[in-house]
A and B are shown apart, each in its own frame.
Chain A
Amino acid sequence: MKIRSRRDKWFDVGNIMFMSAVVFVTLAPFWFAVVGSFNDGLDYLRGNVYLWPREFTIANYKAVFSDTTIYHAFFVTIGRTLIGMTTHVAFTALVAYGMSRKGLKGRNVYLVIMLTTMFFYGGLIPTYLLYKEIGLLNNFLVYIIPSLFSVWDMIIIMSFFRTIPEQIIESAKIDGAGEYRILLQLVIPLTTPVLAAIALFSGVHHWNSYMDAMMFTTKSSLEPVQFVLMRMVTDASYGESFSQQAMSAMPEEAKQVSSATLKLAMMVVATAPIVAIYPFLQKYFVKGVLIGSVKG
């Protein structure tokens, strides 16, 4: 007993050191980016801004928020993330449950139909024409409906559903529960960790997308945050490269903001909210599940 606990202690020390190292190397890039976003743009060109801003400024953030459309864009982004994430997990989990049952007729055919779509994509123009035909262009639903379902997420959820012992489901059936009730009351509570993970993946996907906004909408009332920011940054770096073409006519432009520091501020503004959500989702990952208690 004594030997084991000492071995345990060494293990813990080693593990904490290993984890601290991981924290250090993974935090560093993010930290540098945050620090850079608070640094003067012109000064940042000189590099070596790491631990702390060398010339502190909030000009980069001012520039990000000077375009007031960004507030509305946050509204759009939060809306699409919440709705998109919920509907995606619900829809995908539903299909996954059906697919997880070994007795499902036609299961292999379904699976082949599904897997094929993971590899073959028709391209942008056919997609555009399709969306036009079914009225998704310039419609908020273009953010929601095309990402309702993902084969990849379905397969992951399905594999988790399949770890639930068959007897549990069978005994529920004998008790007279229907498939939908089994899914809602038995299976989902047992697999919250994976559903939380998929929700996170989907939420991050929704939060970060801008291509769909660029391709399929033209209304500024539908612009998500990432789209507004992406344009801001390409515009800034474009302006800079353009001024080098000996064409720009703006002498002595205020230089507190450069495309590099603006990019960093943008990254912080765009990721801070989604990163802040993570700890709330985390409790679903850490909590262990007790299948035995259900069995008994």
Chain B
Amino acid sequence: MKIQTKEDFKRVFDQLYNPLCNFSATILNDEAGAEDVVQEVFVKLWNKREELDVSGDFKSYVFQAVKNKSLEVLRKKKSDLRHLESAIQVAYVDRDTPIQRELDNYLLKEKLYNSLRQLPPKCREIFEMSKLEGLTYGEIADVMKISPKTVETQMSRAFKILRNFLQ
């Protein structure tokens, strides 16, 4: 299958843009730089749409393209002493993780991130403190000035909503 219309292309973009930016940002440690990389890759994809098959390993291909471009940008930065500091910060990036794993990992993150939108505001806040920040129910109760029982109720509510959404 090939990308034929701009609508086809938009669908691919909608699905992959955010995970790709997050992926590139962890390599570059630079959000604006990551957006530049991903947008450039998308423009190139469009120009090459006739040669590309969207089925099969297409998503891995796009992830690989973004990874290559990000590393290229990083190399340029590293060769430049002024950026030494940020280069050191990203030095731990594991370059050898298979791209399929990165793809799965970032699509999972995107899905989980989107699931948070299903939660009512207060419920979301409590859930994020607990699961993302790692606070205990007692700590959350203190911060929010509510009873631990309410925290538990909200977490229970969050679980129901999220489970339903993720299924």
Q: Do A and B come from one complex?
A: no
Interface residues of A (CB under 8 A from B): none
Interface residues of B (CB under 8 A from A): none
